[in-house]
Amino acid sequence: MKNVAVVLSGCGVFDGAEIYESVLTLLALDTHGAKYQCFAPDMQQYHVINHLTGEEMEGERRNVLVEAARIARGEINKLEDLDVKDFDALLLPGGFGAAKNLSDFALKGSDCTVQPQVERVCKAFAEKGKPAGYLCIAPAMLARIYGRDVKLTIGNDAETAKAITDMGAEHINCAVTDVVEDTDHKLVTSPAYMLAQNIGEAAKGINKLVDKVLGMA
């Protein structure tokens, strides 16, 4: 049975992990007969968004690990405790938390950096030749993980794609129900809610991504 590490970035599309993407990822893993363990960095998230109004909640402070535990039903570990040798593959759902908490892509674009614990973990999977899947906006950090020749998709948003190519990655336009495979790096990406108009569309791409990643493991 394959064992997969899933890294979450909080809870909620605008300031954490995209909840539908996260749950669909876990469901796809279970459907494919894989085990999984959720992880998140124990750190303060960049900011807190009121998901009813879309406005920032001034003075509100939340912890990425504590918020991500909502999605994982409390079954979650600190990212610092993730040991690559215990897992066959890595998955990162999207949501703006990937671009605000796991990295600062949302703020700095092509000048972004990856949060140190996240960088350590993701690079460890890459260096061990273990497969990984990144969803939605999460692939924006991949040039910092795999280097300048990595192939990926975030869908077809021109501005985001330009920032990614400016970092040296190769962006490939992709439909929401499809994936982009970089076989050299054992890497699979899919647009999910960068393009999805409903949960069914997101599910098709996520299921395909999980299937491809497990097939590489």
Range of the domain at 45: 3-216
Overall number of domains in the chain = 1
105-127 residue pLDDT tens: 999 999 999 999 999 999 999 99
Catalytic residue among 38, 112, 122, 136: 136
Active site residue 38: no
Query: What was the pLDDT predicted at 151?
Result: 98
Query: What was the pLDDT predicted at 148?
Result: 86
132-150 residue pLDDT tens: 999 999 999 999 999 989 9
What is d(CA 48, CA 192) in angstroms, rounded to the nearest whole number? 23
Q: 3-state SS of 158-170?
A: HHHHHHHHHCCCE
Q: What is the pTM of this model?
A: 0.97
Closest among 45, 82, 72 to 60, alpha carbons compared: 45
We report the CATH number of the domain holding residue 141 as 3.40.50.880
